[in-house]
Amino acid sequence: MSKEPTTLTSVGKLIAEVLRDHYGVDPVPLFRRVGLDPALMANPNARYPRTKLMALWDAAADATGDPCIGLVVGFALRPTSYHALGYSWMASQNLHEAMDRLSRYYRVIVTVPLPGDNIELVRANDAIVERYLDNLDPQRVATEVRKLLIDLLPTGHANQQIIASRLNRSVSTLQRHLSAAGTTFREIQDSTRRALAEEYVRDGKHSLSQIAYLLGFSDQSNFSRAFKRWSGGTPTEFQSVRTDSLDPP
């Protein structure tokens, strides 16, 4: 069973402040009604189940009679409402950098200077955010390493130092986080290369030299040796076995 999505209790705290200060509504009974512990709002690292927080939004709208309470909460939003990440946004050098921190998957190419540009503050808060997320999910670091390897292997520059730098960590910190996840950089690199190699060979649309390049090997012979270590046979033998298995009896 997958874990229920959660969100920072600081969001609930913001709703509580708006209920009390703007509407004169005691938030505690509403929190208890939807199954949220009000005491957790004092812990910046605590989290609320997302479904219960959504129920809190509905309860807040009912209690205030204001269906637009979300707008009022939005105006009350502060950098601290989203943990250290909020400070990183505000201290970013430009809008592109801020949005990049918000999501690794969307790239908004805008270079409008932002107030509060502070590189040292950015680095400090990035480190806090990364540690916070790592504590939530130790496997997250391994997943991020694997994603970066897939992107960087074709460049030939996908070593541990570069990956650590991309993740805003020192090499020793990355090694420690991966160890907590029960793996190492070498194991992730090897398994990622193997999985991609088998897909490329199985697909049959790339030459062996092209596959070697895509996986960051210096030449085809090094790739072939690695493939034999992984699968017990050469890429050609692997492809032949697959082809034979697809032939009708």
pLDDT digits (tens, 9 = 90+) for 188-229: 999 999 998 988 888 888 888 888 888 888 888 999 999 999
Residue 58: alpha-carbon gap to chain centroid: 29
How high is the pLDDT of residue 39? 93
How high is the pLDDT of residue 47? 84
HEC per residue, 190-219 = HHHHHHHHHHHHHHCCCCHHHHHHHCCCCC
Query: What are 3-60's pLDDT values in tens digits?
Result: 677 777 888 888 999 999 999 999 999 999 999 999 998 876 788 888 998 999 999 9
The domain limits of the chain are 6-77, 82-135, 139-246
What is the C-alpha separation between 112 and 101, in angstroms, rounded? 15
Residue 4: alpha-carbon gap to chain centroid: 17
Structure tokens at 27: 């938030």
How high is the pLDDT of residue 190? 94
What DSSP designation does 247 have? S
In sequence order, which residues have a C-beta less than 8 Å from that of residue 23 and are 6 or more positions away? 63, 64, 66, 69
CATH architecture group of domain 139-246: Orthogonal Bundle (1.10)
What is the C-alpha separation between 191 and 66, in angstroms, rounded? 53
> Which phi and psi (to 5°) does residue 104 adopt?
-80, -10
Give the number of other Cβ atoms within 10 Å of residue 114's Cβ.
15
Cβ pair 11, 81 in contact under 8 A? yes
Query: What are 107-116's pLDDT values in tens digits?
Result: 333 534 444 5
Strand partners, 94: 113
What is the C-alpha separation between 108 and 121, in angstroms, rounded? 22
pLDDT confidence bin for 246, thresholds 50/70/90: very low
Residue 11: alpha-carbon gap to chain centroid: 20
Query: What are 218-228's pLDDT values in tens digits?
Result: 888 999 999 99
* Residue 119 confidence (pLDDT) above 60: no
How much is the pTM? 0.47
How high is the pLDDT of residue 73? 85
Query: What are 55-102's pLDDT values in tens digits?
Result: 999 999 999 998 888 888 877 776 556 555 555 555 556 656 666 655
pLDDT confidence bin for 127, thresholds 50/70/90: low
pLDDT confidence bin for 1, thresholds 50/70/90: very low
What is the C-alpha separation between 9 and 20, in angstroms, rounded? 17
Query: What are 133-181's pLDDT values in tens digits?
Result: 556 566 788 888 988 898 888 888 889 999 999 888 889 989 998 998 8
How high is the pLDDT of residue 62? 93
User: DSSP of 137-176, one letter per residue?
Assistant: -THHHHHHHHHHHHHHGGGT---HHHHHHHTT--HHHHHH
